[in-house]
Amino acid sequence: MHCDVHPNVVRHHLERLSEAGYVTFDNVRKTTVGRPAKGYRVVDDSLMMDGSMRRDALLVALLETALERLGPEASELMAHDVGVEYGRALGSAVLPQETTRTLKTAMTSIAGLLTAHGFAARVEENDSEQSVVSDNCPFGSAATHHPVLCAVDRGLISGMLEGLGAERTNVTMTSRARGDDTCRVTA
Q: Which domain holds residue 167?
A: 71-186
Instruction: Confirm whether 135 is domain-assigned.
Output: yes
Mean pLDDT of 26-42: 71
Instruction: Confirm whether 33 is domain-assigned.
Output: yes
The strand pairing partners of 174, in sequence order, are: 184
Instruction: Say what the pTM is.
Output: 0.65
Q: Quick check: 18 pLDDT over 80? A: no
Same domain, 169 and 82: yes
Same domain, 121 and 177: yes
For 55-62, the CB contacts below 8 A with 24+ separation are 60/142
Q: How confident is the model at residue 25 (pLDDT cuts 50, 70, 90)?
A: confident
Burial 141-174 (b: 16+ CB within 10 A, else e): ebbeebbbbbbbbbbbbbbbbbbbbbeebebebb
What would the pLDDT profile of 102-136 be if each residue is shown by its tens digit?
A: 888 889 989 998 998 888 999 999 888 899 999 99
Residue-level pLDDT at 156: 92
Same domain, 21 and 110: no
Q: Quick check: 85 pLDDT over 70? A: yes
Same domain, 127 and 174: yes
Q: Is the distance from CB of 112 to CB of 12 less than 8 angstroms?
A: no
120: left (phi over 0), alpha (psi -120 to 50) or beta: left
What would the pLDDT profile of 43-68 be if each residue is shown by its tens digit?
A: 765 555 544 555 677 887 888 899 88
Residue-level pLDDT at 21: 65
Same domain, 102 and 164: yes
